[in-house]
Amino acid sequence: MRLAFTLVAPDFDALQDALPAALEAVAQAGRPSEGLEVLGDGAADLFVEGADLATLRATASRALERASVDFCVQPAAARLKRLLVADMDSTIIGCECLDEIADFAGLKAEVAAVTARAMAGEIPFEAALRQRVALLAGLDVASLQRTYDERVRLNPGARTLVRTMSALGARCVLVSGGFEFFTRRVAEAAGFAGHRGNRLIDDGAHLTGAVAEPILGADAKLSALREEAAALGVSVADTLAVGDGANDLAMIEAAGLGVAYRAKPIVAAGADARVDTADLTALLYFQGVGQDAFVR
The three-state (H, E, C) secondary structure of 42-100, written as one string? CEEEEEEECCCHHHHHHHHHHHCCCCCCEEEEEECCCCCCCEEEECHHHHHECCCHHHH
Q: For residue 84, what pLDDT is reported?
A: 98
pLDDT digits (tens, 9 = 90+) for 9-18: 999 999 999 9
CA separation for the pair 235, 240 (Å, rounded): 11
Q: For residue 1, what pLDDT is reported?
A: 83
> Are residue 247 and residue 138 in the same domain, yes or no?
yes
> Are residue 170 and residue 228 in the same domain, yes or no?
yes
CATH label of the domain that carries residue 255: 3.40.50.1000
Q: For residue 31, what pLDDT is reported?
A: 77
> Are residue 155 and residue 117 in the same domain, yes or no?
yes
Average of per-residue pLDDT across 124-137: 95
> Are residue 71 and residue 94 in the same domain, yes or no?
no
pTM of the model: 0.96
Average of per-residue pLDDT across 213-220: 95
**Structural domain count, the chain:** 2
Mean pLDDT score across all residues of the chain? 96
Q: For residue 29, what pLDDT is reported?
A: 87
Which listed residue (41, 45, 52, 89) is catalytic?
A: 89
Q: Which of 149, 117, 114, 161 is nearest to 135 (CA)?
A: 114
> Are residue 63 and residue 113 in the same domain, yes or no?
no
Q: For residue 277, what pLDDT is reported?
A: 95
What ranges make up the beta strands (E) of the chain? 2-8, 33-40, 43-49, 70-75, 83-86, 171-179, 194-198, 200-202, 207-211, 239-243, 257-261, 273-275
> Are residue 131 and residue 28 in the same domain, yes or no?
no
> Are residue 11 and residue 144 in the same domain, yes or no?
no
Active site residue 103: no
- Which of 51, 77, 103 terminates a domain? The answer is 77
Active site residue 52: no
Apex CA 9: angle with CA 285 and CA 22, to 5°?
90
> Are residue 148 and residue 215 in the same domain, yes or no?
yes
Tell me the backbone φ, ψ of residue 104, rounded to 5 degrees: -75, -15
- Which of 24, 56, 77 terminates a domain? The answer is 77
> Are residue 109 and residue 247 in the same domain, yes or no?
yes
> Are residue 104 and residue 36 in the same domain, yes or no?
no
Q: For residue 60, what pLDDT is reported?
A: 96
CATH label of the domain that carries residue 54: 3.30.70.600
Boundaries of domain holding 35: 1-77
Which listed residue (11, 13, 17, 87) is catalytic?
A: 87
- Which of 77, 98, 128 terminates a domain? The answer is 77
> Are residue 89 and residue 150 in the same domain, yes or no?
yes
pLDDT digits (tens, 9 = 90+) for 42-73: 999 999 988 899 999 999 999 999 999 999 99
Band (34; pLDDT cuts 50, 70, 90): confident
> Are residue 71 and residue 103 in the same domain, yes or no?
no
